[in-house]
Amino acid sequence: MDARHAPVTRLAEAVPGLTASYSDRRMRTLDRLIERAREFGDRYVRPRALEIDRQVELDPGHFDWDIVRAGTGYGLLGLPVPREAGGQGTLALEVSLSMEELCAACPGVANIFGAHGLGIAPLAVLGGTSHWEGVLREITDAERQGRPLLMAAAITEPDAGTDVEDPDLMRMGHITTHARRVRGGYRLSGTKRFISNGNVARWISVFMPTDPRRPAETASAFLVDTRSDGFAVARVEHKMGQRACPAAELNFDDVFVPEELLIGREGDGLAGTMMMLALSRGPVGAIATGIARGAYERLLAWLRSDGDADGLLERQEVQLALATMHEEIHLARQAYIDAATAFETAGIGRALGHPAARVAGLVPPAIRRRPQVRRWTSSATARELFAALLRHSTSERQATRSLALSSLAKARGADVAVRVTGLALEVAGLGAGPVRAELEKLWRDAKLTQIYEGTNQLNRLCVYRGLSLGDTTPEVLPRARNGRSRRFMNRARP
Amino acid sequence: MSVSPLNASERRELVEVTADFARRRLTPAARTLDDGDGATFDECWAGVRELGLGRALLPESLGGAGLATSDLAAPLEEVARADGGIALSVLLGNAALLALPPESAAIVLDSERWAAVVVPDRPAVGARALRIGTHAGQPTLNGHIRMALGALGADGIVVLGNAGAGGAYVVARDATGCAMQPTTAQMGLRAARAADIEFADTPVQAVTPAPQVSTLILWGVAAIARGIARRAYEIASTYAETRLQGGVPIIEHGAVRSMLASMVARLQDGRVPASGAPGVGDHAGALAAKVRATDDALEIAIDAVQVLGGSGYMREAGVEKLMRDARYCQLYPEPNWVARDRLLDLDRP
């Protein structure tokens, strides 16, 4: 039996608890989404996964645009884009479920779409309506024409990896990038490292402080056009796994960013990072779950079909190993679904469904595109209003808890991915034939999930603070500044 | 072919000389060896030969260095600190020569590299893929062996089981009906280039290998795993001393300290006894050492990558290679779950 022909499990069977929370209609929609992602994975990704992995090993600069182009037919680039900008407007749950499917096929290819979503995330959680008719519309228009336009997010620096993902460490960290305020905008300087999609993205959400001596207080997010003067790809890394998705080092040499491409308010960068992580760590748990599932499905299919595996499936040790894998995958999936649900219903996601945001969505695109409207949506007042809306839709405690649940799903899922892929490899052994290379690739791919989006150790410290102690992290939401916007939001409170 | 083990000072000297060679000649070449570059392998192998490690276990009367099997573990560990694949090639070369009858070993040229190919007994995968037959009174092999580590480019191979019993089969490089193809996508120990071998009525010479051969391979893999683990710890601890996060070296962060501390404990636990690896007949001891050392090496290497974070995942740092190599040690010559199973059988009254 080929792994591609594993029985299709409905979401209600895989996660029975979801049926209590969601309507039949929503469950059917989610099932369709999963089927589409699985179809893309089976048709375009699985057959080429090993080949792409080998090509990139020989040449880290190789990038398979064909497979990304094929993804446009499945709406994968518009998946996290708000509906108002022509996208599908999905948040953590849909993105997570899609990522699990894609990762069961190839985590490297999946991560191209994941990193793209990460680039969009700051626009969604900090940007309000201001980028709907800018880059977000550009993405969805291009996708409809079958032209992939990729995004990326640039946070990590050569001397600051963990530092830039934790408020306390960031205050003491060695941040060397700098966004200098100039007339009409900012000038960005410094180096960003390990940026997924960094060398293939058209636009990048970049985080830099306006005062490097106070990085936590002045970190800000900017939308950078990679065609700007002063932007350069310094190198593409030679990775152990997830090779289909490149990681690049990026140099910013006085890159000009106009004022309107500041994402959110100046100084909201740390909150943007925290909210982005609350949104994205759950999907990383899904990525890890998909990797584990990919290994489990391949192993089971091989044990059932390959002559060389004859007899292994009769061994209780092997049966127990398979059962353990199934258990681990089931629990990892539960964890990321909890994280996604918390983000959408009790966390930051609520702000995006706030009546004030919905009202903005009722304005026809043709009007939103008018220069005076675009000027207003990127004005300081509009930014203040969106920050206030975020604060009023959720609380620091809820947002902290959402971040902690996402971190839990990420850390747990990543450990499961490394364990399950390793177990699959051990059951099969070196003499297993073609499936061995696939399992080895998944094992190499799995290790990255313990590292990116914050190391598992950092994520567990988030779990400790947010769940064990029940502490609140004030930096997880934009700070309140403007009394008028606060009063406005109080009146608009649902 | 009995030889007496080295005394402590001789063994210390052997380790120092090997460590110096590994540091000067192998460490700088590790990345190219990992690319599977044949020319680099040949250069390194020339160094191995100069040092006498290529035929370390052959008696001096047969042109070897005359080491006892128990004395090979320590130098293997030093070679593995630089490159696990070269260390495995040394081990398999010596195991092959040791398996040959003395009169055959005597005519193997110094320039030749041989490799022992271990075929796992059941229940491991591939056990049924090889059949022994006879043709015109001569033993023949039919079937295939997948991923025979170290076999690609070898001048001859000796096929043997992993249980320490039964016969072995000598296959010349140009034997009729024997076709070797490079194994695709070899993830670890890449300097010991693997071959997929097809046999079609291939005439072979049946031999009865010395009983210590299969034990030697297990002890050898344990030593290689330990060398890999030591290198992983060295890289991780050096990095942790110098990398700052939150304004302090990451070795001051409890999360990193606990990983490093666990590495130290594993390395202390798995130290090879001062007298070298135990002796000839202790197959159970060798199995247990292999399982323990390779499991430890894998855990250490995975954590070492974690200590380095994103840098560890990139090839440049050289630690992800150790993770791949350690995984192959765990799977060779059979996966550890199979090794544990055999260990239980050996332990039963």
Give the strands of the sheet with B205-207, arranged side by side.
B114-119, B156-161, B168-172, B205-207
Residue with tokens 């089976």: A42
Q: Does A123 touch chain B (CB under 8 A)?
A: no
Judging contacts by C-beta atoms under 8 Å, the chain B residues touching residue A169 are 245-246
Q: Does A141 touch chain B (CB under 8 A)?
A: no
Longest Cα–Cα distance of chain B, Å, equals: 76
Helix residue ranges, H only, A233-379: 269-305, 316-345, 349-352, 355-362, 365-368, 371-377
Judging contacts by C-beta atoms under 8 Å, the chain A residues touching residue B147 are 430-431, 436
Closest chain B residue by Cα to residue A427:
B335
Q: Which helix (H) or strand (E) holds B196?
A: strand B195-203
Q: Mean pLDDT across the stretch A278-288?
A: 97
**Nearest-5° angle of CA A177, CA A181, CA A185?**
110
Mean pLDDT by 10 residues, chain B (349 residues): 79 96 97 95 97 94 91 96 98 96 90 92 62 89 94 96 76 93 96 96 91 90 97 98 95 98 92 58 89 97 98 97 98 94 89
Looking at this protein, which amino acid is placed at residue B346? L
Question: What is the four-CA torsion angle of A33, A37, A43, A45, rounded to 10 degrees?
Answer: 170
* Burial class for A340, CB neighbours closer than 10 Å (0-12, 13-18, 19+): buried
* Burial class for B261, CB neighbours closer than 10 Å (0-12, 13-18, 19+): exposed
* Cβ contacts from A onto B, under 8 A: 138
Q: Supply A296's token pair.
A: 């489990």
Q: Mean pLDDT across the stretch A1-26?
A: 76
C-alpha–C-alpha distance, residues A168 and B313, integer Å: 25
Are the Cβ atoms of B184 and A425 closer than 8 angstroms?
Answer: no
pTM assigned to the model: 0.95
Q: Which helix (H) or strand (E) holds A110?
A: helix A107-125
- Cβ contact A261:A245 at 8 Å: no
- Cβ contact A350:A393 at 8 Å: yes
- Altogether, the residues listed in chain B come to a count of 349
C-alpha–C-alpha distance, residues B131 and A266, integer Å: 73
Are the Cβ atoms of A451 and B313 closer than 8 angstroms?
Answer: yes
**Mapping DSSP to helix (H, G, I), strand (E, B) and coil, where does residue B188 land?**
coil
C-alpha–C-alpha distance, residues B299 and B306, integer Å: 11
DSSP label at residue B80: H
Nearest-CB residue to A238 (from B315, B323, B341): B315
- Cβ contact B71:B179 at 8 Å: no
Instruction: Identify the pLDDT of residue B125.
Output: 53
Least confident of A94-98, A442-446, A484-488, B62-66: A484-488
Alpha-carbon gap: A109 to the closest alpha carbon of chain B (Å):
18
Q: Supply B329's token pair.
A: 């040690």
**Nearest-5° angle of CA A265, CA A268, CA A269?**
120
Q: Does A445 touch chain B (CB under 8 A)?
A: no
Alpha-carbon gap: B308 to the closest alpha carbon of chain A (Å):
9
Closest chain A residue by Cα to residue B123:
A312
**Mapping DSSP to helix (H, G, I), strand (E, B) and coil, where does residue B166 land?**
coil
ipTM: 0.96
Residue with tokens 């998909």: A290
In a mutational test of the B interface, the residue from A170, A314, A316, A430 whose CB has the highest number of chain B CBs within 10 Å is A430
Q: Mean pLDDT across the stretch A452-470?
A: 96
Instruction: Identify the pLDDT of residue B277.
Output: 60
Looking at this protein, which amino acid is placed at residue A450? Q
Beta bridge partners of B161: B119
Closest chain B residue by Cα to residue A460:
B255
| Percent of chain A clearing pLDDT 90 (strictly above) | 79
- A230: Cβ–Cβ under 8 A, 6 or more apart, which residues? A188, A252, A253, A254, A255, A256
Q: Supply B133's token pair.
A: 């037959």
Are the Cβ atoms of B185 and A440 closer than 8 angstroms?
Answer: yes
Taking 80 as the threshold, does the pLDDT of residue A7 lie above it?
no
**pLDDT tens for each residue of A339-393:** 999 998 877 788 877 777 778 888 888 888 888 888 888 899 999 988 998 888 8
- Cβ contact A76:A98 at 8 Å: yes
Beta bridge partners of A232: A251
Are the Cβ atoms of A426 and B145 closer than 8 angstroms?
Answer: no
Q: What is the number of other CB atoms lying within 10 angstroms of the CB of residue A85?
A: 26
Taking 60 as the threshold, does the pLDDT of residue A117 lie above it?
yes
Instruction: Identify the pLDDT of residue A493.
Output: 47
Alpha-carbon gap: B15 to the closest alpha carbon of chain A (Å):
31
Strands A219-225, A203-209: pairing is antiparallel
Taking 50 as the threshold, does the pLDDT of residue A4 lie above it?
no
Mean pLDDT of chain A: 92
Helix residue ranges, H only, A126-228: 137-144, 167-172, 215-218
Are the Cβ atoms of B335 and A429 closer than 8 angstroms?
Answer: yes
Are the Cβ atoms of B245 and A160 closer than 8 angstroms?
Answer: yes
Residue with tokens 């040092």: B51
- Cβ contact B140:B128 at 8 Å: no
Judging contacts by C-beta atoms under 8 Å, the chain B residues touching residue A159 are 244
CA distances from B84 to A95, B26, B157, B299, B331 (A): 41, 10, 20, 16, 14
Are the Cβ atoms of B146 and A432 closer than 8 angstroms?
Answer: yes
Are the Cβ atoms of B315 and A443 closer than 8 angstroms?
Answer: no
Are the Cβ atoms of B327 and A422 closer than 8 angstroms?
Answer: yes
C-alpha–C-alpha distance, residues B221 and B343, integer Å: 16
Are the Cβ atoms of B306 and A450 closer than 8 angstroms?
Answer: yes
C-alpha–C-alpha distance, residues A453 and B8, integer Å: 50
Instruction: Identify the pLDDT of residue A494.
Output: 41
More confident residue, A309 or B207: B207
Closest chain A residue by Cα to residue B339:
A426
Are the Cβ atoms of A240 and B185 closer than 8 angstroms?
Answer: no
Are the Cβ atoms of B128 and A310 closer than 8 angstroms?
Answer: yes
Q: How many helices and strands, by DSSP H and E, does chain B display?
A: 12, 10
Instruction: Identify the pLDDT of residue A363.
Output: 85
Question: What is the four-CA torsion angle of B23, B28, B32, B36, rounded to 10 degrees?
Answer: -10
Least confident of A450-464, A479-493, B246-260: A479-493
Q: Does A315 touch chain B (CB under 8 A)?
A: yes
Residue with tokens 């220069």: A371
C-alpha–C-alpha distance, residues B260 and B238, integer Å: 11
Judging contacts by C-beta atoms under 8 Å, the chain A residues touching residue B187 are 437, 440, 444
Q: Does A432 touch chain B (CB under 8 A)?
A: yes
Nearest-CB residue to B244 (from A174, A238, A309): A174
Residue A8: band (very low, low, confident or very high) from pLDDT cuts 50, 70, 90: low
Q: Does A425 touch chain B (CB under 8 A)?
A: yes
Beta bridge partners of A251: A191, A232
Looking at this protein, which amino acid is placed at residue B315? R
Beta bridge partners of B214: none
C-alpha–C-alpha distance, residues A191 and A181, integer Å: 18
Closest chain B residue by Cα to residue A425:
B331
Q: Mean pLDDT across the stretch A451-471?
A: 96
CA-based end-to-end distance of chain B: 31
Judging contacts by C-beta atoms under 8 Å, the chain B residues touching residue A428 are 125
